[in-house]
Amino acid sequence: MSRTSPVPFLLRLPTLLTLLTLLAAALAGALLTAPAAGAAELRGEEDVLVAADEVVDDDLYAAGGTVVVDGTVRGDLLVAGGTVTINGTVEGDLMAAAQTVVIEGTVGDDARVAAQVLLLGEEARVADDLVTAGYSLQARPGAEIGGDVLLGAYQALLSGTVDGDVTAGAAALALAGTVGGDVQADVGSADEVGAAWAPTTEVVVPRVDPGLTLTDAARLGGDLSYRSGTEASIAPGAEIAGEVSYEQVAVDEARPAEPTGPLALLLDGLRLFVTLFVVGLLVLWLLPRTAAGASGVLRTRPWLSLGWGALTIAGTVVAVIAVLVLAVLLGIGLGLLTLGGLAAAVVVTGLVLDLVLVVGLVLAVSLLAPVVVGYTAGGLLLRDPAPPRFGKRVLVLALGLLIYVLLRAVPFLGPVVALLVALFGLGALVVWLWDAARRSRAHRRGRGTGRPPGEPSPTAGSTTARPPWQAGGSAPGPGADAPR
């Protein structure tokens, strides 16, 4: 037996992600195939303005906090920024990635836009197709799109004129204008709860009711085909020239509802504990020296750990931005020199490096840092910071992680605990790895000069080759370097 159900928004994510991928590929392709120097104009600053009496005879590549085109661009416009406003004319394609994109003028060919909010005003003209992905799309009465519309968004309100077809994936879709072709949509249900979040932009974002809605002003020249948990709300005055096809989405009645209240809190805490405990077991088994060393650093040098944790996070963010900017600038330069293949390799390498940095930081903060802090806290509570037996170390880890999970569940206190644990744990790992690298270099230098590996250099400081836990006067125990 089955029952109707709203289409979960997650089911529409593939459409949205596909559109975002296509838009990113289009932007990257345009960047990497840029013509030789002198065949395109580049502008990059906080505020970019093409004045009303200004004419750009070539393609325009622009990036800035605010980009405003009041004049005319004879070629394509490739733009990235916080707010992009087109009041004038773009005779070629528009390719934009921004928080807010407002089109009040004319786009002579296709428009491909990735933005939180896309607004087409009363005077907006897009001569060919519109492809967009984001949170909200609004085409006001009077806006004209000469080709097809392909969109993936949370909500869309089409009150203007679309000469071609409309293909949409959205939680909320309202048709209040004219569509010359067919409409094919995968939409939410009328009984879905509206989005609790809406972006903060310089334009007013309309509220579109979940599901598919056709107002009295809707005029469809072709067929209407849609999938949803409930039937569309079609006003009596709406006109549909073709057939209406409705596919009802159903789910298994036996599927249990998501738990709420204390039960949900308990399950979330259990999942977190099990995840961290499994990761901690792997660390104690495969990297016992790392666990003991980082725990020793946290016990003996907690404030140094806190500082290095904050610096590591900040430094990683700066490095990610720097790598991205450098890759884009090199890609632009090589593209202008018609070295498209090398430009693509540089951009891809930069993106891969950024991905490695971000994933590494996320894993260290969310998994390794709580394990280090939990292992340290459990040892202090049991008055055995460096237990020699593997079984005792597992008990220490479990006790520390249990306390961490309980504190995470406390309202308002939980986020603060998570932040402090991330900073202290990450910093302890960084300090221990740095000390380990210094000891390794000193060991290699000792071998290179003929001294026994364990003999310190005469010029080295007494703390250079000393493990960090020795600062506190306690050793990790004979079982800390190898699993039992």
Q: Where does the pLDDT of residue 36 fall: very low under 50, low under 70, confident under 90, or very high at 90 and above?
A: very low
Q: Choose between 243 and 252: higher pLDDT.
A: 243
What integer pLDDT is reported at residue 449 of this predicted model? 57
Percent of the chain with pLDDT over 70: 77
What integer pLDDT is reported at residue 261 of this predicted model? 57
What integer pLDDT is reported at residue 56 of this predicted model? 93
What integer pLDDT is reported at residue 223 of this predicted model? 95
Segment among 192-201, 392-401, 406-415, 462-471 with least mean pLDDT: 462-471
175 DSSP β-pair partners:
158, 214
pTM for this one?
0.52
What integer pLDDT is reported at residue 245 of this predicted model? 94
Q: What is the pLDDT of residues 403-432, one digit of tens each?
A: 888 888 877 778 888 899 999 999 999 999
Cα-flanking dihedrals φ and ψ of residue 20, to 5°?
Answer: -60, -40
Segment 164-187 shows an average pLDDT of 94
What integer pLDDT is reported at residue 115 of this predicted model? 82
Q: What is the pLDDT of residues 279-324, one digit of tens each?
A: 888 888 888 888 888 989 998 999 999 989 999 999 998 998 888 8
- 223/361 Cα distance (integer angstroms): 50
What integer pLDDT is reported at residue 10 of this predicted model? 40
Q: Report the SS3 class of residue 381.
A: helix
Q: What is the pLDDT of residues 111-131, one digit of tens each?
A: 998 888 999 999 999 999 999
Segment 342-350 shows an average pLDDT of 78
What integer pLDDT is reported at residue 198 of this predicted model? 56
Q: How far is CA 374 from CA 292, 369, 390, 398, 405, in A?
A: 12, 8, 16, 8, 10
Residue type (1 letter), 202: E
For the chain, the structural domain boundaries read: 2-174+189-194, 261-472
Q: What is the pLDDT of residues 44-62, one digit of tens each?
A: 777 889 999 999 998 998 8
Average predicted confidence (pLDDT) for the chain: 79
- 275/417 Cα distance (integer angstroms): 18
